[in-house]
Every structure is written in structure tokens, then in C-alpha cells.
Amino acid sequence: MSAPAARHRLHFPELDREIEVRGEETIFHSARRNGLRIVGACGGRGTCGTCVVRVVEGRIDHIHSAPPDLLETDDDAASADKVAPGRRKWLRACQLRVRSDCTIEVAPRSLASVVRTDADLGDASETLPLDPAVSSHDLLLPAATLSDNRSDADRVLQALGMPDLGIDLGAARGLSVALRDGGDAHWAVRVRRHGHELIDFAPLGSRSLGLAVDLGTTNVAAFLIDLESGVRLASLGIENPQTAWGADLISRINHAIGGPCAAADLREAAVAAINGLAHDLCLAVGSHAGCIVDAVVCGNTAMHHLLLGLPVRQLGRAPFVAALHAPTDAKARDLGLSFCPGARVHLAPNVGGFVGGDHVTALLATEEHWHQAGTSLVMDIGTNTEISLIHGGKISSASCPSGPALEGGHISCGMRAADGAVERVRVADGHLVIQTIGNRAPVGLCGSGVLDALAALRRLDIVNARGRIAAEHPDVEEADGLRAALLAPGVRITQHDVRAVQLAKAAIRTGVELLLRDHGIAEQQIDRFIIAGAFGAYIDIASGIDIGLFPNLPADRFVQVGNAAGLGTRRMLTSLKARARAAEIAGACRYVELSTRGEFQKTFMHHIGFPAELPRRSQ
Amino acid sequence: MSAPAARHRLHFPELDREIEVRGEETIFHSARRNGLRIVGACGGRGTCGTCVVRVVEGRIDHIHSAPPDLLETDDDAASADKVAPGRRKWLRACQLRVRSDCTIEVAPRSLASVVRTDADLGDASETLPLDPAVSSHDLLLPAATLSDNRSDADRVLQALGMPDLGIDLGAARGLSVALRDGGDAHWAVRVRRHGHELIDFAPLGSRSLGLAVDLGTTNVAAFLIDLESGVRLASLGIENPQTAWGADLISRINHAIGGPCAAADLREAAVAAINGLAHDLCLAVGSHAGCIVDAVVCGNTAMHHLLLGLPVRQLGRAPFVAALHAPTDAKARDLGLSFCPGARVHLAPNVGGFVGGDHVTALLATEEHWHQAGTSLVMDIGTNTEISLIHGGKISSASCPSGPALEGGHISCGMRAADGAVERVRVADGHLVIQTIGNRAPVGLCGSGVLDALAALRRLDIVNARGRIAAEHPDVEEADGLRAALLAPGVRITQHDVRAVQLAKAAIRTGVELLLRDHGIAEQQIDRFIIAGAFGAYIDIASGIDIGLFPNLPADRFVQVGNAAGLGTRRMLTSLKARARAAEIAGACRYVELSTRGEFQKTFMHHIGFPAELPRRSQ
């Protein structure tokens, strides 16, 4: 019997985290598995160079056997916020394996914050309506004596005037110590109640924090809310670490059905991401995750199932049946989430297929728009795009596998919305004019830039209606038989990129058309076209119309509401009424399965090209 | 960084168990920590020789460096049920450390079964009234299709006609697979419901088992019940593995307050004992612990707290306050118990001080006796002895730290009630006459034998009223200044043993007297003296009166009811009405703290001697 391999630990001082490395995984994969906020646009394949770290202390190997002296540190290191790829000390985390305990510094630009967490309805200073699931009660109690030796639980319950409440086991384990921490003569404690159960015993004055999580396929956004005031304290996002097992849902489901350990990979990645966000957010406001007394998570059905540890095999193949749709309260500890002892996590209800709680929360947050008379369409653009058509008081919902292209993912020069990302492209005097985030030199394209670029290339006829890049054009280059349109030095759109956008927009447009067809409605009858999603907040609607992503409706019918799922989730966090309303909305949605319909393919092919005639629009 | 020590595994083929060894612990301690049924009368100190095993395969060391060749096996080994201490291959498990993975055979007589699990009210063929907490429902469902793609949970809940039930997360994780195991066209599943929650999804026809556990300080008895018929299927008991950290409650509490790991030692020992009993009982009836859908555990307050992981520091010192008294349903998984996914464990309610759920269940089971008019006293004799006085419709309850002496524990020749144990001693023609279990050659004394022996030694004046063993008597020997009365070759009662019995009986008698005094009642006014407890079933009442353990009441006022706590626990397992009644009884009991009363010491000293005049009784 050989001794098991020693397990090394990675210490990240700036992030105040210490994690354990498994086997031969890279620093990048360790970090991701543990929900650490390291950027990794390519998912750790070594192609993007965004996961830059410095090994301050400890021994490592390069996976391609770089000489060890490459890896030594020196003291006159470059300023930490300038990543100089040629320098010795800054290295790609995805190329490094650990040979001892190490201390790691992450380059500031490789510290991920979500693609614009501010891109949501309401602003950072929003105050949410308060009707929370968890209430706090401050108690001052006489200490136990020989003549009053009631149990600690009875003493608390009687003081509350609620003798029949239950007490969560985890909370009960902390009760006796919490009571006696206050002193001998009198005891003081803050008691937290969720429904018919006490879930926490804490010192007087301790904070009641709530966490709202939008668990997206590509990004995880979390919002920390003060549950006593309804004030949003902080927000933060990271790339979903599950992307290591595939950018799209089907890849992840295929991984998960490989066995219990594979399913656990995905569950643990989601759990680590949420625990990491909770830790970082609480630290940022001078608190700790033990003060989180309630949480709400929304995600599509696959995200929901993977987080709860529900099987996903049946979700990935016809008839695409979920294990569970109903709104669910799980104990945080049963999910592996480290909040206060008896904290629960409320999972927003699902609708059907992949249409899950994130779409329900988006509908909840946009109800003021679609609840008016007439016909509305709510579209949450993401790696999976959910669409609801609201017509005649009925809601029909469908999901389209649009892929990450519209968010800049799996695009050769795609990047997240960070400094240097091309975010706007327009045509002036027959030439491309680009605008980058932070007005830096262009280094890649974010989602809105991809969309604009395509529209501009179409307008200049560099890309034709069938999506072909023109052969004979000064801005087109060709390498290895692959054509690419050059937008700026080093920033290009390849033929593959055009195809990816075509597939995405055709899938979405097909979803819209089939839903409309079910109700016998023409596109022009859509009174309100509500675009949700962090990405949707930044796109240029006209470009979307130009490339055929959206129907050609008057501009005033479009509403861009940003991350509505995030807002809806926050509302559910602070309000039981909002949870009840979300359940009603989910129950009212009729799920429409598109993928198995005979007309799907034909409609999809109809939309695969770009509009032959450019819409009326002044240049 | 050095590699952690390799962990070896022990395989026990006859017990169908495989366990992991921690550090340098002995085979005995590994087995005990994991709840394996190995006898160890001395708690693993190497003095009793009862924990005999054979190492069938693997390498071990003797803790006193015996030569390795002692440890090899050979094929013409002695018959396994004859332990021959001089033989090479049978060794004491408490003296062996493991040096590789090992396969271990336990000598049949070292396989513990509880001290007479049959010593309870009702017999092994009892059928309990059925009003269980868990109900089973068999469902035949149409399989999901594209036109009927409700979630699996909705499908089940709608078929049950109970759409608002919750589903335990552990159960939900198994739902989709359980449904699809049946076939493609139709799905079949047995659904189990506990209150407002579904807790398990199993194949049609799978059994619904319940486990009742009497978690005693010294012994743990478990009973497996068929929850569909109320029939008792099997029962089994083991010594409480917590005895490794002390025979009495105060020792264990002192260990537990040493820190989180120390508290976990005791919790894990109790959990392992119950898991081990559940495994063995289910195996014996051709099932597995995953079929246990409900459980009830009773124990004194300390056992209750240690199992739940509640702190015990405040329980061990004035004012002796429990964390929790109320009846409690915990999820089995939160306790570390491996039953069906959503199974709960119901903990019987406590009264106060150390008077816990085991006394409440004893009161529940004996209610037919004490619910009559007049004055009743219920006494559950154990390592802690609980006493309730029922008078004028009121119940007053107290606890006495009587120690294990009356059960044969911490007595020099004490042993469990097994073959060769002296169980009866009487005086005939001025001589001692002994009777052993199984009519074997005497090897030690079990509890009833200790009591009888003391009474006989008193009657022959070998022990005087102050408890001194006579110096000049042919049956008395003296070694190292310690006198001992010889009962049989090798079986003796030492002066220390006499003192231990004196302390035990004085503590119990003091409890009775103080309770009576509170109500201004004389001993002779007790109409019914109800003796519960496995040990109490076997003792000779007359001997108890002779040594002053019991007041001198007419024989027909005594009722010996055996393990009433076990019966009460079984009734609670099969009946919600019984659980409600137990809660009422616990609420009706007034706890009386004896240890802090000024008169305690004086009364105790008054009872420390034996009655000077032997009661009227023909020889």
C-alpha cells in the first residue's frame, strides 16, 4: 500500500483564501474549482493569456517543462498591474503545476469581476421593499438558576412568546454558548427566525445579510443585501467555474452523467463559486458569511439541478423532463454553502425544459412592462436564450441554445467587457470606426462589439447576406484558408466567428417566430420587445435588427432592462410576496419545446442568413 | 511537508463491515469507534480478556512488542468458538495495532449482544399499535412524454393528490432514477411521506422499517420494527462505545468539554453504535439500513445532547441546564445516521437535569401501572438511576448517579450477563449456593448476582452492617491488605466491591427518600414500586430489600417491568399518539435537583450502611 500523494495548499493573500490542490491539476483549475476570482477567457486551455499570476513563494512546474529558473521570483518585479507576457515572474496560471505549498499573487487585471454587475435594473444604491423570510429578535433573558433551570431552548422560546417553534439542529448546537457569551447575570442574544424555525443565535447587533445569486451558465453574479434596511451593500461576479467542463449546457450535462464524481465536479464548482462570492462580498463590507441568514438563487433548469445535486440525465434528452420545478427551500448546509447555521437557500421555480428560475425572476422584474395590455415579448439573451411571449393574458416560454458567441465567447478575438474591449463599431464615410472600453488600445471584442462589427461589415458588404466574408477587400486577410475581416491591429472577425453569430441569432429568431406562429401573431404585432440580460443592456438594437437578431420593429417598442434576473432575485430575497408572485408567474408560464418540432429546422435555415436588404436607416 | 500516514482498513467478513483505522489506535478501539459489536468488559485496558480476535490476513504489532511469529495463523486452528488464551492465533484486540490492511475474525463469544435484550415488556413476538409518522404510497404513473413533460416531482405529487407537499433534498436526488428504473412505458414507485414532506422514493414492495434505540449510558439496545405490520423483526444490543471515555456521565462530559474534537469523539461513537446496530439488524432480516424510514431514540439528557452534537458543558455543573428538552425531529443525515434519504430521527423529550427521554419512555410504557389511584414510584435502575414519584396526579422526577456497580460494572469479578456469570446466590444450611447462567462453571458476577451475593454475605454476617468484610472467616481471603469474600473458585467480592454497591444503593435510596419527603409521604404509603430497566428485570427484590436498596414493602407492591424504556421507544416509533403522549408526560414531570440540596449528604450517609436488622424472612 503506497502512501497517498501529499496535498499541497495554495495561499492567495490578497483574496484571503487558502485552497487545496487536487492531484495534478493546474493552479488555474484549483482556483476555479474553489471559486476564486481568476479570469480565464479560454477556460484554462492556455490560449488566452488572461489568467496571469505570480508565484511569490513555493515550487512549481510548468506543464510544458519550462526550466525551473524561469519560475523564480525576484524583487525588482514589474508593477503588478502591468502584465508583461515576456517577463519571468508573471505566468499563466493554467500552465503551472504545484510542487509544494505556494503563495500566489493574482495580477489585478486577472482578478475577475463580472461582466458589468452594474448592468441591472435599479442602481447600486437601490433600496428593496422589505418583507423578508427571516426576522430578527433581540432578547434579554435572566440567566438560569437552580430555581429556574428551564432548558435554554425553552427559555428562548418562552421569551419570544412562540413556544411551538422548531429549532434548526445547527442553530441549536450554538444556542447554549451564544447565551452564556453575554455574561452571568443576564443573557442577551439575537434570535433569527425563518418561518416556524429558529435558524441562528448571534450576539446582539450582529448583521442580517442576504445573498441573491444569479447562477448563469457563463457568469455568476451575487448581490449582498442588508435584510434590515433593504439596501444593497455590494455586488460581485465571476465567470462560472463550470465552464471548465464546457461552455454550453449540453457539454456539462454530458459530463455530469459520466458518474457521481463527475456530477459532483459540477455541483462543487457552483458551490465553490457561491461560497467564494459570499466570502468576498462579506469581507468587503467588514462582515463574514456566517452573517448571511437567507439566500435566493436563480438559474436555468440545468444550473438549478446541478446546484441541488439533482440528476440531469433526463433533462438533456427528450422529453426533457426536470426533476423539480417548484420553488424550493433547501438548507444551505445540505448544499455545501457556508452561511449561518440554519440558513436556507430559496431556489426560484422553474418553468420547463431549460427555462428556469432565472427567466422567472426576469419576468418578475419586468412585470411592469409586460403586464400592460397588448402583446409583449421578454427575451433574456445569454448562452441559453429564454423567450416569453405574453399575449391575451397568457405566457408562453421557450429556450434557445444560442451559445456564448453573442457574449463574445468562443469568438476568436472575444473577451469579456474589460478595458481595451471593442464595444462599439460604426460606419463613417465608408470606414469602420471603433470605440473601446476605457478608450484603451483595442485588444479584443466584447459582445456588443461583436454585434456592431457584424452589422458594420454587412453594411460595407464585407460580409454578404449568406455570411461569407468578401475575398477581395483591403480589410480582409486570409490565413490557412480562413478569411478574417480586420477591425483594428490584432482584432479581427473570422469566417468562423461570423458563422457562430449566425447560428446564435438564427436560433433566437427561430424561437421568436415559432412562439408567434403558435398564437397566430405577426412580428409587427409585438407591442413591447423587452430585452433582459447583462449583455442585452449594452447591445445596439439597430445592429441587432441589421443582422436579423431582432425583428424590424420601431425603436420605441424595444426596452433594454439589463440584468432583470438579478433584480428579480434580489426582490425575492427581501420579500416573501415577491417569492409568492414568482411562483404564480412560473405556474402561469406554458413551456413550449422547440427542439423537437418539425418546423424548427426549416425556420432555423430561413434565418441563418443576414437580411438581404438593410433596414431603412440613415448612415 | 511530510506525507500523511497511510490509513489501514480492517475487514470483518462475518460482520460484513469494513472500517478505517485511525493513527495508532488498537483493533479494539477501531472496532468500538465504528460501533462494531466486540465485547470489552474493561473498556480496552487489557485486563478482562474478553475482546478476542484472530488476524486472518495482514500484519499487526502487539502493543507490548510480542514477537511477530506469535501472530501468524495456521490452518489447524482451534475451533473458533473456543477461546484458548494460550493459543497463538487468538489474541486480545485491545493489544493489537495494525501495520497493513487486515482481515479480522472475532471469536463468537466476543461478539457482543446486549445484556439480555429480551428483558423488556412484551415479548419478541409483540405487535405494536400502528399510527406511524411515515406512510407509504405505491404509485403507477404514465411515463413522461413530449406532450406531458411535467417535472418528475409534479407528476408524483399530483398522482398523490397532495400538490403542496415538500420533498426532502436527499429524496429528490433519487426521484428521477427511481421513476425510470421501472421501465419506459409506465413508471412505478413507492413513495414515503413524513408529515408534509416526501422522504424516500423506492421500488414497489420495498420494506418500511423502523428503528427504536435505547441509548443507555452503558448499553445501547436497538429494535427493528416492520412499520407496515407493527411486528418486531429483530433486536440487538452492544455496549455503548462511549464507555471508552468513562463509565459514568460526568467523565464523558468532562471529556466532551475538552474541545470540539473531544465532543466529536463521543458523538461519533454513539452514531457508529447506532449505525452498526442498524446495519446488523437489517442484515439479519435480509434488508439494509436504506429501508429504515423512521427512528426513535431515547436516552438520558447527556446521551441525547451528545448524539445531537449539543454542548454538554452547562449540563455538568449547577444549575444543570439542558440546551433542549422538547421532542425533536432531526434529519438522520444531520446526525450522521445512514437511513433512507430523508429519514428523520425522533428524540424523546427530556425532563430536566439528567432525567431524559429514556425515563419518559419508561413512564410511557408503565403508565398502566402508575396511572391508577394511590402513590406510585417508577425507578429505572442503571448507571444513572431515574426515579419518578407519582402522587396526587403529579409526577416528580429525579436522577441519582448510582454508577455501574449494580449492573456488574466496575466490580472486580463483574461481567455482563453471559454464560458462566453468577446470577443467583442464596444461603442454604449456612452456606452460599450459587447459580450461573447456562449452568456453566462460574467465571464472574453479573448484576443480579452481585446483589444476591451481598445479601447472602450480610445474612451470613461475612459482611457487617457497616459494610466491612469479616476478618476471621474461612470464606474470606486477604491480599495486599484487601479483603475479599470467595463465592466460587476465582469469583470473589472485594471490600472495594462492597463499597461500590453501598454507594450505589445509598444514592438510589436517598433519591427515593427526598422525593417522598417533598410530598410528606412515608415509604409504607407507596402503593406500587415499579422497577424498570433491563437489570431490574432480573434482580431478586428480597435481596434488594435485604441490602437496603429498596424499602421494606410487601412483595406484592413491587412490579418488575424490564426494559420499559425500550418498549416505550418502540411504541413511539409506531405511533404518533404515543409521541404526543410522551410529550405530555415529559411536560407533566416536575424535575427535582437532588445534588444541590443541603439534606442530600446527611440522608446519603444515613443510607450508606446495610440494614442492621435483617427483614423478617424465612431462610
- Strand-by-strand arrangement of the B431-436 sheet: B431-436, B421-428, B444-445
Length of chain A counted residue by residue: 619
Interface test with A, best of B21, B324, B350, B591 (most A CBs within 10 A): B324
Average pLDDT of the segment spanning B545-556 = 96
CB contact under 8 A, B326 and A145: no
CB contact under 8 A, B323 and A144: no
Contact of A177 with chain B, judged by CB distance below 8 Å, is answered with: yes
DSSP state of A397: E
Name every chain A residue with its beta carbon within 8 A of the beta carbon of B5: 3
For residue B79, pLDDT beyond 60: no
B42 vs A370, residue with greater confidence: A370
For residue B190, pLDDT beyond 70: yes
For residue A115, pLDDT beyond 60: no
Q: How confident is the model at residue A386 (pLDDT cuts 50, 70, 90)?
A: very high
Q: Let me know: does A423 contact A417? Beta carbons within 8 Å.
A: yes
Average pLDDT of the segment spanning B55-79 = 56
CA distance B444 to chain A (A): 42
CB contact under 8 A, B4 and A3: yes
A220 vs A115, residue with greater confidence: A220
For residue A81, pLDDT beyond 60: no
Contact of A181 with chain B, judged by CB distance below 8 Å, is answered with: no
B58 vs A182, residue with greater confidence: B58
Q: Which of A310, A321, A596 sits opposite B172 (nearest CB)?
A: A310
Average pLDDT of the segment spanning A136-143 = 94
Task: List the single range of A41-50, A580-589, B296-305, B506-515 with lowest mean pLDDT.
Answer: A41-50
CA distance B314 to chain A (A): 8
User: Is the Cα dihedral A76, A79, A80, A83 positive or negative?
Assistant: negative
Look over chain B and give the mean of its residue pLDDT values, rounded to a whole number. 88
CA distance A301 to chain B (A): 11
DSSP state of A127: B
Exposure b/e, A114-140, CB count within 10 A at least 16 = b: bbbbebbbbeeebebeeebbbebeebe
- Which residues 535-594 of B have a C-beta within 8 angstroms of A? 591, 593
Q: Which of A1, A6, A149 sits opposite B319 (nearest CB)?
A: A149
What was the pLDDT predicted at A368? 94
CB contact under 8 A, B170 and A334: yes
pLDDT above 70 coverage of chain B, percent = 89
- Which residues 583-612 of B have a C-beta within 8 angstroms of A? 591, 593, 596
What was the pLDDT predicted at B85? 38
For residue A87, pLDDT beyond 60: no
What was the pLDDT predicted at A78? 33
For residue B117, pLDDT beyond 50: no
Contact of B319 with chain A, judged by CB distance below 8 Å, is answered with: yes
In whole angstroms, what is the distance from residue A31 CA to residue A44 CA? Answer: 11
- Return the number of other C-beta atoms located less than 10 Å from residue B187's C-beta: 21
A392 phi, psi to nearest 5 deg: 60, 35
What was the pLDDT predicted at A47? 62
Render pLDDT for B275-303 as a digit per residue (tens, 0 to 9). Answer: 989 998 998 889 999 999 999 999 999 99
Render pLDDT for A308-326 as a digit per residue (tens, 0 to 9). Answer: 999 999 998 889 999 999 9
Q: How many CB pairs under 8 A join A and B?
A: 152
A79 vs B363, residue with greater confidence: B363
For residue B522, pLDDT beyond 90: yes
Distances (CA, A) of B270 to A267, A279, B25, B241, B337: 31, 34, 18, 7, 10
Nearest to B588 by CA among B373, B380, B355: B355
C-alpha cell at B591: 424535575
For A345, the closest chain B residue by CA position comes to B169
Contact of B62 with chain A, judged by CB distance below 8 Å, is answered with: no
DSSP state of A443: -
For residue B501, pLDDT beyond 80: yes
Q: How confident is the model at residue B534 (pLDDT cuts 50, 70, 90)?
A: confident
Q: How confident is the model at residue A264 (pLDDT cuts 50, 70, 90)?
A: very high
ipTM of predicted complex: 0.85
In whole angstroms, what is the distance from residue B382 CA to residue B405 CA? Answer: 9
For every residue of A189-237, which 3-state class applies, written as one string?
Answer: EEEEEECCEEEEEECCCCCCEEEEEEECCCEEEEEEEECCCCEEEEEEE
Contact of A5 with chain B, judged by CB distance below 8 Å, is answered with: yes
**Which stretches of A73-226 are assigned E, i.e. beta strand?**
91-92, 96-98, 102-106, 134-142, 166-167, 186-194, 197-202, 209-215, 219-226
Q: How confident is the model at residue A480 (pLDDT cuts 50, 70, 90)?
A: confident
Look over chain A and give the mean of its residue pLDDT values, rounded to a whole number. 88
Task: List the single range of A525-534, B65-74, B136-145, B235-244 with lowest mean pLDDT.
Answer: B65-74
What was the pLDDT predicted at B41? 59
In whole angstroms, what is the distance from residue B328 CA to residue B555 CA? Answer: 39
In whole angstroms, what is the distance from residue A349 CA to residue A579 CA? Answer: 9
DSSP state of B567: H
Average pLDDT of the segment spanning B582-608 = 95
Q: How confident is the model at residue A119 (pLDDT cuts 50, 70, 90)?
A: very low
What was the pLDDT predicted at B77? 35
Average pLDDT of the segment spanning B400-423 = 83
A84 vs B532, residue with greater confidence: B532
A488 vs B111, residue with greater confidence: A488
In whole angstroms, what is the distance from residue A380 CA to residue A561 CA? Answer: 10
Nearest to A400 by CA among A293, A533, A526: A533
Contact of B169 with chain A, judged by CB distance below 8 Å, is answered with: yes
Average pLDDT of the segment spanning B103-109 = 80
Average pLDDT of the segment spanning B96-117 = 73
Q: Let me know: does A274 contact A215? Beta carbons within 8 Å.
A: yes
What was the pLDDT predicted at B579? 98
CB contact under 8 A, A176 and B310: yes
B39 vs B355, residue with greater confidence: B355
What was the pLDDT predicted at A619? 40
DSSP element (H, E) containing B180: helix B169-180
Average pLDDT of the segment spanning A555-564 = 93
Contact of A153 with chain B, judged by CB distance below 8 Å, is answered with: yes
Residue given cell 442464596 in the structure block: B426
Burial class (CB in 10 A: 0-12, 13-18, 19+), B82: exposed
- Return the number of other C-beta atoms located less than 10 Å from residue B205's C-beta: 8
For residue A67, pLDDT beyond 80: no
What was the pLDDT predicted at A89? 66
Domains of chain A (ranges; CATH) run 9-110 (3.10.20.30), 134-202 (3.10.20.880), 209-347 (3.30.420.480), 367-401+502-607 (3.30.420.40), 405-494 (no CATH)
What was the pLDDT predicted at B80? 34
Render pLDDT for B194-243 as a digit per residue (tens, 0 to 9). Answer: 999 999 999 998 999 999 999 999 889 999 999 999 999 988 888 888 88
For residue B165, pLDDT beyond 50: yes
For residue B72, pLDDT beyond 80: no
- pTM greater than 0.90: no
